[in-house]
Structures are given as structure tokens and as C-alpha cells.
Amino acid sequence: MNKEEQHIYDLIKDIPDPEIPVLTIVDLGVIRKVERVSDDFVITITPTYTGCPAMNQFEDDILKTLKDNGVSNVHIETQYEPAWTTDWMSDNAKQKLQDYGIAPPQEKTSDKNYIIGKEKKKVICPQCKSEDTKMISQFGSTACKALYQCNNCKEPFDYFKCI
């Protein structure tokens, strides 16, 4: 990244996820590339999943942030391949989820023991850290999360699904 591209990246890197405000678009791995093409800046983003409602908000927030900082020659491109995976989330992002009360993904998407809806590894309760948990529903507060309950502290919590 050259100096101009780095400046653009630095302006947008702290834009929060509208659904999980403790995470940024960089924490999630949504920003794929910032590059200068002729007189314009092209920002490439990848949706966390097809139809993610946050993507329109990400685009609006990127454009507004840059416009507020005097940058109007911006184009946003959406890149679908390779598909986004929770493997792109930083360890820092996973810790932020845990601290926020959402259990982070427990495995890599390449883990052969992982079957959607039938996790082989225990999902750890973000409140009391117990491994004695159970899935209540494959869908939580958003489509990217499942709803779990801790059998120890009895609290319900979201689990950010491994995608």
C-alpha cells in the first residue's frame, strides 16, 4: 500500500459493524483492498455472507467517512470470491466478541470435524466460561449467529457461527 492508500485505509479502518459495534470492518476482514486507480480510490469489500444487511451500511459509512475527510473520488467494489470466512477475523476481533458477550467461532472453516449445526467442539459461555452449553436455535439475533444457553449459569447467548 502506498502512502495515499494507507491514508484512506486509516480513515476507514475504525468504522464499526452496525450489528456488532465493538467490531470494525477491519476486525471482520471485510476490507480486502484499498488502491489508487488513476484519480480515484477503489475500496474492495467482501460481504460476510450473501445478503448481509450490514453491507449497505458499510458502504454508506465508508463513503460518508471519506467525504467528511475531503475524499470524494471513491468507488466501492464488492468481491464475492473468495467467499468471506470467519477465519479472516482477527484474534483481537474474537476477543472483542467474547468480551461483548458473544461466543466467537471455535474452529476454522477447514476443520474437518465441524458440521454446521452439530459442532464437535464445545461452545464456551461468554458469561461464566463454562463448556456445558447447548444450542437452542441455529439462528440467533442475526443470521450469522446461533442461539445457545449455558447449562451452568442458565444465561442465553449468541455464538458467532463458523462460516
Q: Where among 23, 56, 84 does a domain terminate?
A: 84
Q: What is the pTM of this model?
A: 0.85
Quote the DSSP letter at residue 74.
E
> Per the structure, how many domains does the chain have?
2
Q: Where among 84, 110, 131 does a domain terminate?
A: 84
Q: Is the pLDDT reported for residue 117 higher than 80?
A: no
Give the model confidence (pLDDT) of 72-114 as tens digits.
Answer: 999 999 999 998 999 999 899 999 999 999 999 987 776 655 5
Q: Where among 84, 108, 123 does a domain terminate?
A: 84
Give the model confidence (pLDDT) of 13-33 as tens digits.
Answer: 999 999 899 999 999 999 999
Q: Which domain holds residue 69?
A: 3-84
The CATH number linked to 62 is 3.30.300.130
- The helix (run of H) or strand (run of E) holding residue 62 is helix 54-68
* Residue 90 counted as domain residue: no
* Residue 76 counted as domain residue: yes
Burial class (CB in 10 A: 0-12, 13-18, 19+), 103: buried
Burial class (CB in 10 A: 0-12, 13-18, 19+), 147: middle
